[in-house]
Chain A
Amino acid sequence: MTEDSMIQVSALRKTYRMGTTLVHALDGVDLTVERNTFSVLLGPSGSGKSTLLYLLGGLDRPTSGKITINRTNLDTLDENALALYRRKTVGFIFQSFNLIPTMNALENVAFPMSFVGIPSGQRKKKAYELLKVVGLEKRALHKPTELSGGQQQRVAIARALVNDPPLILADEPTGNLDTASGHLVLQILTELHQSGRTVLVVTHDERMVRYATNVVRLLDGRIVDHDITNFDDAAVPAAQESR
């Protein structure tokens, strides 16, 4: 653990109230993730892995504990600063893609840049470049309903990259995809890691472990295992779907 870790979490707790009972989604989590790593957060449903991901992404506030991401202590941020943190530091990838149905692929990718105040022309140019990276430049003008699940997820990945965030957080990115599409998404995520980003993926798919440099296992809101391995180039999956 160094001062310059990408993620430093200590004594993190998140408690929900479900009716009259309290649910401890996270029950004292300590975690450090170094820069330029590919971490996989594993655990069964209800283990608190998604909750941890969202707290790291600043989408929710912890009940107690401290989160420091990229040298920023999230506790000290007000709502506005937290929004700027999400904008600049984090790129989210969701299981259900969360594309805006009325926008085409290009517009969906460009959308986050409009909050930054980048002019329309530049937004579209950059969005097109990113669609090229995920191999979807030919489908730029298609609406989400005209794209396959895998293609939608690749659009969502391109969207996560528009503001050049150092940290990519993915919640079950392959959960809604067939095996081939899932492989392609994984390959892109690996490439993002290789390009210098820190990638954290929440999944219950054990197969992902072999691409990871870090494997964190959660159970009942606690970390039960944290393996750190050296990244193995051989583990990069081969593309099974033509881009």
Chain B
Amino acid sequence: MRLIDLIKLIFENLNRRKGRVVLTAIGVVIGTAAVVILVSLAIGLQQNATNQFGSIADLTQISVWPGMDEGGGGGGNMVVIAGGGGGGQTPQMKLLTPDKLKEFEAMPGVVAVIPREYMQANAFINYNKLETYANIVGMGTSDMSFFGYKLASGTWELKKGTAIIGGEMVKSFYDPKLRPGQEPPPPPELQDQEVKLTLIKYTTDANGNGVEVKKTMRIKIVGVTAETNNEAGYTMYMSLDDITAINEWVQGKRINYNKTGYSMVTVKVDDREHVLDVSDQITQMGFQANSAESYVQSIDSFFVVLQVIFGGVGAVALLVAAIGIANTMTMAIMERTREIGLMKAVGATNRDVLSIFLGEASGIGFIGGLGGVIIGWGGGQIINVLASAYLAGQATQGGPPTTLSIYTPTWLPIFAILFATLVGLLSGLYPALRAATLVPITALKYE
């Protein structure tokens, strides 16, 4: 039998009993729509979660901290045990010295290794009459562009005596002399302006009394970031040399990174695929390494589980629909037993009969799947519109705008229709096999 004739016959036969086919297909519609909406929701939630991670930290960065060295190997532990109370071994810090940084740089896939230090002094920044508390980080690079953060204005080039300031930090400037009821001033335009940085350290004088020591310096703002919800939005970046000098002033002694190590290093990798690899190597060297990628991967696996659970809920509805299809097909075959006998008498093979009835069952699955996909996809779009309208209303009351997105990837409707068709096919298997193996004369004589 030619495929075109088979398909035509199948749809003619389905058309013969429209009412029953539609009722049966509604079960499949509900199941498929449930699968499409729920899986789309899970995928949408996953995308939201990963997107937020993507903006909080570049996924190709690894943050490395000094590690706790665990006693210098098994032999050392043996000595401790044998030595009894002989002054227990204090764990050695695994330091992020410039030598180690070179080792990181040599790892395959590593693009850059950037040491960073927090400023140890209390600090505030003044610009004209405005003031803000400063969160300042020293970066061991002159080019911050490859972090991938967005700039509102200026440059990512960081030199001695200059700073790049976070867009959100600019908004935190306030007027200390502002009286209640007065309109707060707008955020200052800081691009290419000089700000006054006031540093404060606490020390003791000759009598042992606490003394506050202040120092001021002028810093030129060369860039303002456009970031909102990550470090680059709330931080002022300065060169590592500047911060080292300030920290030396705070500590009152020279800092030798070969002896103290850096407090943190950012390792930038060329591709997301290499992140976990490099991260593992660094961990094996005894450092603490952390990457957004590892979070994203665990989040991904969580959402895969969520998708399976959501998909499973829809699949239960499809299972019920499958029983409906099996029932409808069994009824159809009983009603058309004589017709099956006739088909066989005029030369239809068992395979022809099987194809026709499997095709009809699959056809119900396909029609239901198609309807379910349309309703599921459409329903998802409607929920998206309603939810974003609702959330936009919520966002005006403060806080960053939240998005809820039901995202239907192209593969999902295709998969859903194929799956519904497969469900139809499997439900029709038993009735169709029964029809195909009927003895022709028994079928012809069926009353």
- B351 — which chain A residues lie within 8 A by C-beta? 80
In angstroms, Cα B339 to Cα A79, docked, is 18
Instruction: Take A80-B350, A98-B444, A100-B339 as given contacts and tell me if A59 and B345 are in contact as well, using a CB distance cutoff of 8 Å.
Output: yes
Query: Is A102 within 8 A of B349, CB to CB?
Result: no
A102→B12 contact, CB < 8 A: yes
Is there a chain B Cβ closer than 8 Å to A128's Cβ?
A: no
Q: Kindly list chain A residues whose C-beta atoms are within 8 Å of the C-beta of B206.
A: none
Stretch touching chain A among B1-9, B193-201, B271-279: B1-9
Q: How far apart sit A89 and B348, CA to CA, in the bound complex (Å)?
A: 13
Query: When chains A and B are docked, how far (Å) is the Cα of A60 from the Cα of B339?
Result: 16
Q: Is the Cβ of B444 less than 8 Å from the Cβ of A114?
A: no
In the complex, how many angstroms separate the beta carbon of B447 from the nearest chain A beta carbon? 11
CB distance from B12 to the nearest CB of A (A): 7
Is B350 within 8 A of A111, CB to CB?
no
A interface footprint on B353-372 (CB within 8 Å = 1, 0 otherwise): 00000000000000000000
Counting residue pairs across A and B whose Cβ atoms lie within 8 Å, the total is 69
Give chain A interface residues in 86-101, CB to chain B under 8 Å: 86-88, 92, 94, 98, 100
- Taking CB atoms, residues of chain A closer than 8 Å to B348 are 83, 115
* A19 at the binding interface (Cβ < 8 Å): no
Interface residues of A in 50-69 (CB under 8 A from B): 54, 57, 59-60
Contacts of B345 in A (CB 8 A): 57, 59, 86, 92, 98
Q: Which residues of B contact A114 (CB under 8 A)?
A: 1-2, 5, 9
Q: Interface residue tally of chain B, by bracket?
A: 20 to 34
Determine which of B5, B12, B338, B440 lies in contact with A120 in the assembled complex, contact meaning CB atoms within 8 Å.
B5
Q: Does A135 contact B (CB under 8 A)?
A: no
Assess A87 versus B346: contact at CB under 8 Å? Given A60-B440, A100-B339, A115-B352.
Answer: yes
Dominant SS among interface residues on chain B = helix
Whether A88 lies near B347 (C-beta < 8 A) is yes
Whether a CB of chain B sits under 8 angstroms from the CB of A112 is yes
Residues on B with beta carbons closer than 8 Å to the beta carbon of A92: 345-346
* Complex contact A83–B439 (CB within 8 A): no
A57: chain B residues within 8 A (beta carbon): 345
- Determine the chain A residues whose CB is within 8 A of the CB of B9 once the complex forms: 114
Partner of B444, one of A94, A120, A163: A94
Chain A contacts with B in 109-163, Cβ cutoff 8 A: 111-112, 114-117, 119-120, 159, 163
| Chain A residue nearest to B16 in the complex (CB) | A102
A84 within 8 A of B: yes
Assess the A83–B2 pair: CB atoms within 8 A.
Answer: no
A59 touches B346 (CB 8 A): no
- Rounded to whole angstroms, the CA-CA distance of A68 and B54 in the bound complex is 79
What 1/0 mask marks residues of chain B from 7 to 46 whose CB sits below 8 Å from any chain A CB?
0010010001000000000000000000000000000000
Q: Which residues of A contact B341 (CB under 8 A)?
A: 59, 98
Closest to A57 in B: B345
Distance of A86 Cα from B348 Cα, bound (Å): 9
Check if B309 is an interface residue, CB within 8 A of chain A: no
Of the listed residues B348, B352, B440, the one surrounded by the most CB atoms of chain A closer than 10 A to its CB is B440
Does B344 lie at the interface of the complex (its beta carbon under 8 Å from any beta carbon of A)? yes
Interface contact A79-B350, CB-CB below 8 Å? yes
Residue B285 is within 8 A (CB to CB) of chain A in the complex: no
Closest residue of chain A to B345, judged by CB?
A: A92
A83 to B343, CA, bound (A): 10
Q: Is the CB of B346 within 8 A of A115?
A: yes
Complex formed: what's the CA distance from A100 to B9 in Å?
A: 12
Indicate if the CB atoms of A80 and B2 lie closer than 8 Å.
no
Is the pair B350, A59 in contact by a Cβ cutoff of 8 Å?
no
Whole-angstrom distance between the alpha carbons of A114 and B356 in the complex? Answer: 12
Looking at the assembled complex, report how far the CB atom of B384 sits from the nearest CB atom of chain A, in whole angstroms.
44
Q: Which of B344, B346, B352, B440 has the most CB of A within 10 A?
A: B346
State whether the Cβ of B342 lies closer than 8 Å to any Cβ in chain A.
yes
Given the contacts A59-B440, A59-B444, A100-B339, A86 and B346 also touching, CB distance less than 8 Å: yes
Q: A59-B441, A86-B347 are in contact. Are A98 and B1 (CB under 8 A)?
A: no
Are B444's CB and A115's CB within 8 A? no
Are B346 and A117 within 8 A (Cβ)?
no
Q: Chain B residues near A163: list those with CB within 8 A.
A: 347
- Name the distance in Å between B88's Cβ and chain A's nearest Cβ: 85
Identify the closest chain B residue to A80 (Cβ): B349
Contact partner of B342 (CB less than 8 A), chosen from A100, A119, A120, is: A100
Min C-beta distance of A177 to chain B, whole Å: 19
Whether B350 and A159, one on each chain, are in contact in the complex, defined by CB atoms closer than 8 angstroms, is no
* CB neighbours of B338 from chain A (8 A): 98
Known contacts A100-B339, A102-B12, A83 near B347 by CB under 8 Å: yes
Rounded to whole Å, the gap between the CB of B103 and the closest CB of chain A is: 72
Interface hits, B396-447 → A, CB 8 Å: 439-441, 444
Closest residue on chain A to residue B342 by CB atoms:
A98
A35–B12 Cα distance when bound, in Å, is 40
B1 touches A115 (CB 8 A): yes
- On whether the beta carbons of A115 and B441 are closer than 8 Å, the reply is no
Q: What are 5 pairs between A and B in contact, CB < 8 Å?
A: A83-B350, A94-B444, A98-B444, A119-B2, A120-B5
* In the complex, the 10 A-B pairs of residues with the closest C-beta atoms, listed nearest first: A87-B347, A112-B346, A83-B349, A59-B440, A60-B441, A59-B441, A98-B342, A114-B5, A54-B441, A92-B345
| Chain A residues at the B interface, C-beta cutoff of 8 Å | 54, 57, 59-60, 79-80, 83-84, 86-88, 92, 94, 98, 100, 102, 111-112, 114-117, 119-120, 159, 163
